[in-house]
Structure 1
Amino acid sequence: MTSQLFSHDVQHTLDIAGIFVFALSGGLLAVRKNLDIFGIAMLAEATGLGGGVLRDLIIGAVPPAAFTDIGYFITPLAAAVVVFFLHPEVERINWTVQSLDALGLGLFAVTGTAKAHDYGLGAVASVALGVATAVGGGVIRDVLANEVPSLLRWDREIYAVPALAAAILVAVLIAAHALGPVTGTGAALVAFALRMLALRYGWRAPRAWHRIGSRTSEE
């Protein structure tokens, strides 16, 4: 088995931390959309747990871990409470939140890919589910908030690409029988570095070659 890259306690702590940071972003979007406390809690839950639940349902790991470990379920609610009372302060430390989000992105891409492989999926499918684990919650968040998902918008810094890079690295490491705590952490840090560089330098994915038209509505 490769999905348990770290000891149970370490893995659980990292999962909780990643879920909390993802949930903060969901709660903040709910505040910007002027939603009530229930809406804040719903977007926090969807963002924090959505990717992992989607992965577990696809690979048949049911019931999903989010519903068998009360800590996973409560963590987004704690983030929602923080955002409800302290959203101006959380907005002020947005760079820190984005940095932690980038760490969570890499971690979830790595563990999601490894878990999908453990359930018998091939390299390509495992990579796809690794990316889904990392970005799925954000997509669900944006859809619920009636937004075009951030990872589909050309005017946002690349998000799925760092997760894809980490997932591919994990698939290569698995094929080489070299995936472990050190190499898995290295793959997660690759995603983190790519995401932070994208934020720093405004890296975006290319649009269609020889695209015709430049109206604002098209951009």
Structure 2
Amino acid sequence: MAAPQPSEPAPASPALGRSLLWPLVAVGLGFLLVYNSFDASAGGAPAPSVVSIPSVPAPSPSASVPMPVTGLPASDPERIRIKSIAVDAPFTPLSIGPSGQLDAPPPSDPNLVGWFKDGATPGERGTSVVAGHVDTRTGPAVFLLLSTLKAGNTVDITREDGAVATFEVDSVETFSKAEFPSDRVYADNGTAQLRLITCGGVYDKKKKDYEDNVVVFGHLAAVRTP
């Protein structure tokens, strides 16, 4: 489905650095994520009863340290674990493709999540965006049960620097793609935030797309060091 293209923001000075890049592209990215489906299903979403999800190993004992006031240094994510919905998956970087839309994770691997590599890395100050399929043509995918998360659930993201950033879920909400609140979802409030996004709602067979987006809002709650 073609997406209405947002107006291009004025280019940021290189001296501003990564921390100021995200606010400039957040609104535009909101439109891109809303209209670029995170699934490639040819029909309705499979029933949860057919899900086969690997068990999640218990995290190795390690020390927890208080959350830094402004977040961690930048470091690419390697793996996401959400124990309450049995998610244990690797990351792939996502970027804006030739079409002007955010590329989705490859549908060939249903147990794969992507992160917007030009935004904040998970745990870094700013809003980090992580996207995953709810299903693909081959069946259920990594974020099939994302909508069942509750406030207080935790999300662990292992980073290249060895740190494990633990995010606490604040809320889980569903928005119509036609009225997606970009400013709210991608706002930078000066702390390390996480947004998990997938498709939801009714599947439109004619458009071959879901009508809604499920968004998990979370904040950095703790860091485990190597």
TM-score, structure 1 as length reference: 0.30
Higher helix share: 1
Higher strand share: 2
